[in-house]
Structure 1
């Protein structure tokens, strides 16, 4: 018997949504770090995770990864170092916020369980 449905019923949809958001932030961070690692690779095309596309992915429509066709340098690389560093910082802040929200959510559940004794 699969225990996951029982966990979903126990923790509610909020925990699943937080889990998905944390997963997407982790995926985006990996893509952005990959962009940074390839800042000097000729022909490299910047990749990012578009959260609007990710929402469609959750409905089974796409893979969520977008190749940026924006400003391309003479060597064909589309990575802007300053932009990547800024995006990584924003993604890290989003991840920290989501982990804090997750912590508070489960603390609230813990308090409800303790009060129910």
Structure 2
């Protein structure tokens, strides 16, 4: 029902949430030797999700390892500026998607109440 009620925005919110977790994991492992930073190609994941793929399939197909600008000696590919920028960009997108869904719910609530 949420697919028809919220359209693409329901899937987008789920993907943005999962991407936020992945980016937070990258930031948390900035000092872990050998850690490979990953990100989700949001457009590819959303396209896969709206084409009928499950969340797991969409994420698996759209997850990419980051290529560092300046490789570190310990093999860690997390670059704090890149991760923080991606996290902030994703947070703005998450907030915008959530606002759209909230507006849709408020509209439906008013319609049900007959306002």
TM bucket, shorter chain: 0.7 to 0.9
User: Which residue number in structure 2 is paired with residue 65 of structure 1?
Assistant: 63
Deviations 1:71-113 (A, max 9, x none): 3222211111111111111111111111111110111112222
- Corresponding residue pairs, total: 107
Cα RMSD after superposing both structures:
2.1
The TM-score with structure 1 as length reference comes to 0.77
Q: Are the counterparts in 1 of residues 20 and 87 from structure 2 also a CA contact under 8 Å?
A: yes
Unpaired runs of 5+ residues, structure 2, are: none
Note if 1:98 corresponds to 2:89.
no
Q: Are the counterparts in 1 of residues 11 and 46 from structure 2 also a CA contact under 8 Å?
A: no
Aligned partners of 1:39 and 1:101: how far apart in 2? 33
Aligned partners of 1:106 and 1:90: how far apart in 2? 25
Q: SS of the counterpart of 1:77?
A: coil
- Runs (4 or more) in structure 1 with deviation over 3 Å come to 59-62
Unpaired runs of 5+ residues, structure 1, are: 1-7
The TM-score with structure 2 as length reference comes to 0.79
Larger RCO of the pair (alpha carbons < 8 Å, separation 6+): 2
